[in-house]
């Protein structure tokens, strides 16, 4: 299972670095990894919400990620 978490998170990182316009796809990958227990994905999602990067800024969602 940890392998699946890491692969979803790593795929998200690779995709956003190569194709920033695919942020919606990346966010879905991060959510998948987060739902499987990835602390890295939780941090990334929280950061996106905190800074309003690729999503609308939402401090509440940032704090709960």
**Distance separating alpha carbons of residues 58 and 1, to the nearest angstrom:** 30
CB neighbours of residue 41 within 10 Å: 24
Q: What is the DSSP letter of 21?
A: G
| pLDDT class of 44 with cuts at 50, 70, 90 | very high
Asked if the model's pLDDT at residue 1 lies above 80, the reply is no
Whole-prediction pTM: 0.83
Owner of token pair 């800074």: 51
Of the given ranges (4-8, 43-47, 51-55), which has the lowest mean pLDDT?
4-8
Q: Which of 37, 35, 36, 57 is nearest to 46 (CA)?
A: 57
pLDDT at residue 4 greater than cutoff 80: no
- Mean pLDDT throughout 16-40? 94
């Amino acid at each position: 299972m940890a392998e699946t978490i890491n692969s979803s998170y790593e795929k998200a990182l690779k995709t956003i670095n190569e194709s920033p316009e695919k942020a919606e796809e990346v966010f879905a990958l991060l959510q998948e990894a987060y739902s499987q227990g990835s602390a890295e994905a939780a941090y990334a999602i929280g950061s996106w919400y905190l800074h309003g990067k690729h999503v609308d800024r939402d401090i509440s969602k940032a704090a709960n990620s």
